[in-house]
Structure 1
Amino acid sequence: MLTATLVATLAATAGCGDAGDLASAGPTPTATSPARLWPDLTPASTPAWNYDDGESELMRGITAPGNDVRKVDPVDVVRAEIRQDPGSYTGAKAPYRETARRMAECGEGAGHGECPVLKAYYRDLTGDGHEDLALGFRLLPGDQTAVRVYTFEEGRLVQVMSNDDAVSSVELAGRSVIIHAPSDIASYEYRFQWTWDPQQRVMLLTHDEMIRIGHGDHPATPPAPAPASPSASAR
């Protein structure tokens, strides 16, 4: 037999209607497994494009006390790359001769005046407990940016990531460098994620995608992409 208190409680609850109850979200699409196409197709044995990943490069002549990357001058690092890659910077047909010429404007250091070297950033991207160097510099003439990552290995400065592209923005997240690049499709951009691989001991291109950046009825308009360079990452 119900007590008067319990009857009153049930009545009060019934008067609240359906508040707090679960509501249906509508029909759920039927899950389908991937359908494999052309099962007899012979797998490719070589990559379609060169993404400039999977390689490291020793920056000759660059050292620092205690392997402290903050004691390395970013301008000296870019000058070392220019010396080691004359075909891109100083040769007769070098596409970025203007970058090499503008290095003379770096007397006040990276990020000042007409110096093509941008402000340096420091983050432990390799997971060894020591800061690494994230560096960018303008590729001139044109509207592209070189993005590099360097770490010390056995007292030597090593470039472990290299990407040249028309860059909208760059982010550091965990062990990754995320590069946003403009697309020629309105309201979309490319996003490339480079992540440290401890086995290969380089940063690999782990994600390459096109994402929507427009919002509502007023989509963002990305800047026009710069002409592709021979060393730009293929898309």
Structure 2
Amino acid sequence: MTPSRLARVPLGAAVTAVLVAVLAGCGDSGDLRGAGATPTAVGPTKLWPQLPPASTPALDYGEADTETVKGITAPGDDIHKVDPVAVVRAEVAAHPDEYSGSHAMYAETVQQLKDCGKKGALGKKCPILQAYYRDLTGDGKDDLVLGIRFPKHQLAVRVYTFMHHRLVQVMGTSDSVVSVELAGDDVIIRSPSTLPGYEFRTVWTWDPHQNAMLATRDEIIRVGSVTPTPSASPSASLTPTPSASPTLSPSASGS
């Protein structure tokens, strides 16, 4: 992210202070001087240490579904020779509940596929965006990254690779999208937030244990200036007060 203006002001002040100190010390003998006391490092404060550890997992956030694309092959497993349109049509055929019928969620996308030709001959109404190629799995071979426009301004992002001579979708997600980026071997998707001045940023990274791209980092980031809302009370201390401790009434203890 580009540093904000507020972050640049202290930097300029610090540079000015250094220049003043250098000019004022031209006649200095050069002896070593103490920099003052070093601040004591403060470690994290563990809250509610009496809580027992969780016995069941939370959301299956670290898992991803993969799917073999039926009927799609390429000589030498060269993914550059795979037709992106054929890949999307294979997905449509494999998921009739989502793409077929008048009440299907992506029925409009199927109609738009009629404007898609072969090997990059994509019409104006074709929902398939330009294909990108990058080695995301670390096997030394390019993988295929596809974008598919869905209804209601949704964008599906798919990543495909060859495994054992089979084309496999190793990442599939759809959302309202601000931008999609490839950074090294990561896929970074930025999505709008209902909170003014912020966006969601999700980083997808290859996991060799699950043979899939996982959402390894999901965060909300500041993208604009927002006027902070004045707090009604000063910042609370981490030390709980006696009144904050929960108590049981006689009626509650007997229930």
Q: Taking structure 2 as the reference length, what is the TM-score of the superposition? A: 0.70
Assess if the C-alpha contact under 8 Å between 1:176 and 1:196 holds in 2: yes
Report the residue type matching 1:81 in the other structure: E
1:16 deviates by 4.5
Mapping for residues 71-86 of structure 1, pairs under 5 Å? 71-86=81-96
Look up the SS of the partner of 2:123 in the other structure.
Answer: coil
Instruction: After superposition, give the CA deviation of every residue in 1:99-136 in whole Å (9 maximum; x if it has no partner).
Output: 11111111264653100000000001111111000001
Look up the SS of the partner of 2:98 in the other structure.
Answer: helix
CA change 1:93–1:45 in 2 (3 A) is farther
Instruction: After superposition, give the CA deviation of every residue in 1:184-215 in whole Å (9 maximum; x if it has no partner).
Output: 12221100000001121111110000111126
Look up the SS of the partner of 1:208 in the other structure.
Answer: strand
Residue from 56, 64, 68 that aligns with 1:45:
56
Assess if the C-alpha contact under 8 Å between 2:154 and 2:177 holds in 1: yes
Report the residue type matching 2:24 in the other structure: G
CA change 1:216–1:188 in 2 (3 A) is closer
Look up the SS of the partner of 1:158 in the other structure.
Answer: strand
1:66 deviates by 1.1
Which stretch has the larger CA shift, 105-114 or 148-157?
A: 105-114
Task: Give yes or no for the alignment of 1:208 onto 2:218.
Answer: yes
Residue in 2 aligned with 1:185? Answer: 195
CA change 1:213–1:16 in 2 (3 A) is closer
Distance in 1 (CA, whole Å) between partners of 2:62 and 2:97 is: 16
Report the residue type matching 1:65 in the other structure: P
CA change 1:163–1:29 in 2 (3 A) is farther
Residue in 2 aligned with 1:32? Answer: 42
Residue in 2 aligned with 1:54? Answer: 64
Look up the SS of the partner of 1:87 in the other structure.
Answer: helix
Residue in 1 aligned with 2:73? Answer: 63
What is the percent sequence identity of the aligned residues? 52
Look up the SS of the partner of 2:58 in the other structure.
Answer: coil
Q: Taking structure 1 as the reference length, what is the TM-score of the superposition? A: 0.75
Residue from 144, 148, 164 that aligns with 1:137:
148
1:32 deviates by 2.8
Distance in 2 (CA, whole Å) between partners of 1:102 and 1:43 is: 48
Report the residue type matching 1:129 in the other structure: G
1:60 deviates by 0.4
Residue in 2 aligned with 1:117? Answer: 128
Task: Give yes or no for the alignment of 1:90 onto 2:100.
Answer: yes
Report the residue type matching 1:120 in the other structure: A
More helix by share: 2
Instruction: After superposition, give the CA deviation of every residue in 1:21-64 in whole Å (9 maximum; x if it has no partner).
Output: 99x9999876432222333245162333x659422100001111
1:91 deviates by 4.0
Corresponding residue pairs, total = 201
